[in-house]
């Protein structure tokens, strides 16, 4: 770390952020989810939750003008930041000048091959975590891409809409529990880090925010014979939340005359056919999907 780095930039203060934005004549694009974080305490909470050591790498999605990137650069060995907005690339070139361990890639995270980029830029790091204040219009697709591509990640620490964080971390039997909670539980252990007020952003978003930590599992907590089919069963079970599990599954996988057969399958999986999808645990879904698959 050189002297300039030790002094620590302060991209994240409201004044510095406003100064940078004004100097470059930058106008925020709502369509790209551009709400910049201007609070050091929250930044420290995010970076702290990621538990980065000096040999670790960080992947940031959407660095904006670099306020979180700067804090990551101080903690991690290498930082790779992917930004879609071309107008921010020269700004980042200036704000992150003191940090030689940061690589900025211009592109849409949903379209890039993350595995290749991680190998190329963070290949020498011991462990890799994703740390980001995500653009809210694509939160779920981004998190699902990170999980489904089975990237070699340790933690995913992201600021997202509070409502989505609640759904990701929800337990069975609660109103927030759904297919997203099960997908997240399949790949990781979720933990709500903190709820964040609107006032820490420029401009302020009109939804509440939260920081969530997803500790990526070495292997799923259940054994399913066919992963894609397991997720199909979960989707089908929540197709109409007010319907029973039997009715939702009947509509998706069986003909009308097959109710008795389906009820038998549910019972042999230990599941009362009158229950609703939101009451089933991930273990029950795993058992059920294995049984249904065997029956089709
Ligand atoms: N990290 C900065 C901060 O905390 O102040 C900015 C966060 S802002 C909520 C989201 C950032 O993601 C913006 O810089 C936006 O341009 C960028 N972004 C939006 N969609 C993206 C995409 N598909 N791929 C990469 N970056 C994207």
What is the position in ligand 1's atom list of the atom closest to the CA of 60?
A: 1
3-state secondary structure of 55: coil
Tens-place pLDDT, residues 2-47? 333 433 458 999 999 999 999 999 999 999 999 999 999 999 999 9
| 138 Cβ inside 6 Å of ligand 1 | yes
Q: What is the CA(284)–ligand 1 centre distance, in A? A: 37
The CATH label, of 1.10.600.10, 3.40.50.150, 3.40.640.10, 3.90.226.10, for the domain at 3-216 is 3.40.50.150
Contact 47, 120 (CB under 8 A): no
Task: Identify the residue whose C-alpha is closest to ligand 1 atom 19.
Answer: 32
What mean pLDDT, rounded, does the chain reach?
Answer: 95
Q: Name the closest-CA residue to atom 8, ligand 1.
A: 34
Does ligand 1 lie within 6 Å of residue 68's CB atom?
yes
108 in ligand 1 pocket by Cβ < 6 Å? yes
Cα separation, 78 vs 241, whole angstroms: 44
Structure tokens at 54: 């000096």
The residue-averaged pLDDT of 114-132 equals 98
What CATH number is given for 227-295 in this structure? 1.10.8.100
CA quadruple 59, 19, 86, 37: dihedral sign: positive
Q: Is the CB of 133 under 6 A from ligand 1?
A: yes
Ligand 1 geometric centre to CA of 24 (Å): 17
- Over the stretch 191-238, which tens digit does the pLDDT of each residue have? 999 999 999 999 999 999 999 999 999 999 999 999 999 999 999 999
Domain ranges of the chain: 3-216, 227-295
Rounded to two decimals, the pTM is 0.94
Asked if 80 and 118 touch (Cβ cutoff 8 Å), the reply is yes
- With a pLDDT cut of 90, the percent of the chain lying above it is 94
Ligand 1 and 207: CB distance under 6 A:
no
Q: Could you please report the per-residue DSSP string of 105-163?
A: EES-TTTS-HHHHHHHHHTT-SSEEEEEE--GGGHHHHHHHHHHTT---SEEEEEEEHH
């Amino acid at each position: 770390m050189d002297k300039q780095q030790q002094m620590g930039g302060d991209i994240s203060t409201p004044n510095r952020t406003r100064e940078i934005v004004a100097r470059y004549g930058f106008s925020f694009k709502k369509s790209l989810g551009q709400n910049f974080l201007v609070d050091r305490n929250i930044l420290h909470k995010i970076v702290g939750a990621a538990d980065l050591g000096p040999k670790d790498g960080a992947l940031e999605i959407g660095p904006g003008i670099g306020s979180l990137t700067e804090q990551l650069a101080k903690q991690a060995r290498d930082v790779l930041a992917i930004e879609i907005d071309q107008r921010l690339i020269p700004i980042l070139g200036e704000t992150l000048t003191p940090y030689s361990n940061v690589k900025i890639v211009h592109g849409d995270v949903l379209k890039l091959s993350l595995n290749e980029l991680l190998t190329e830029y963070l290949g020498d790091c011991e462990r890799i975590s994703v740390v980001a204040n995500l653009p809210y219009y694509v939160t779920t697709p981004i998190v699902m891409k990170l999980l489904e591509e089975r990237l070699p990640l340790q933690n995913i620490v992201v600021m997202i809409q509070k409502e989505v964080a609640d759904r990701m971390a929800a337990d069975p039997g609660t109103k927030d529990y759904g297919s997203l909670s099960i997908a997240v539980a399949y790949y990781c252990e979720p933990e709500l880090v903190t709820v964040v007020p609107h006032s820490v952003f420029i401009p302020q978003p009109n939804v509440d925010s939260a920081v969530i930590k997803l500790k990526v599992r070495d292997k799923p907590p259940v054994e399913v014979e066919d992963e894609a089919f397991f997720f199909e069963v979960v989707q089908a079970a929540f197709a109409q939340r007010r319907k029973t599990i039997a009715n939702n599954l009947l509509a998706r996988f069986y003909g009308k005359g097959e109710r008795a057969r389906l009820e038998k399958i549910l019972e042999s999986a230990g599941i009362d056919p009158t229950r609703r999808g939101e009451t089933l645990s991930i273990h029950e879904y795993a058992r059920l999907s294995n049984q249904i698959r065997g029956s089709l």
